[in-house]
Amino acid sequence: LQRHDFAPFRELNHLPMAMTAHVVYSAIDPKNPATISGKVIDEIIRGEIGFDGLLMSDDTSMKALSGDFPTKAAAILAAGCDLVLHCNGVFEEMVGIASRTTGLEGMSLQRAQRALTYIKNRDRADEAEIRAEFATYFDAVA
């Protein structure tokens, strides 16, 4: 994992946002999917990979995490994600998630502000320039 799977993420660790996956890395945390694993988020994503941007969960409506939506939201935030994503639009589920979240503050707020600044600046770049930049990163890790 460290040599191959994490290498592209280290190369792109300066980007402003990333999303976890609901995958279990049994060698790192055999009990918890990455999205709710403080060990994966703190030691691997923030530590080894060096990512300090806005970290959002994968979609909570995928049914990949156990528990009700308030429990999922609390576990995601406790593990170290900055944002909880819910993508299917079921209002009752969103209410459950909102019951366990608050407004952004502290480092999460700072990360969100940096991400928004990055996005606003990128809106002015042209597509060819962005594609060339990403090609450079992928060539570096290939």
Positions in the chain whose pLDDT score sits under 50: none
- Distance separating alpha carbons of residues 81 and 74, to the nearest angstrom: 10
Per DSSP, the three-state class of 139 is helix
pLDDT of residue 134: 73
**pLDDT value, residue 31:** 96
Outline where DSSP puts E strands in the chain.
Answer: 17-19, 54-59, 83-85
Structure tokens at 62: 């995928």
Q: Residue ranges per domain, the chain?
A: 7-141
pTM exceeding the 0.75 threshold for the entire prediction: yes
CATH 3.40.640.10 is right for the domain spanning 7-141: no
- Tell me, what's the pLDDT at 125? 64
User: 2: how many CB neighbours lie within 10 A of its CB?
Assistant: 11
Report pLDDT digits (tens) over 66-92: 999 999 999 999 999 999 999 998 999
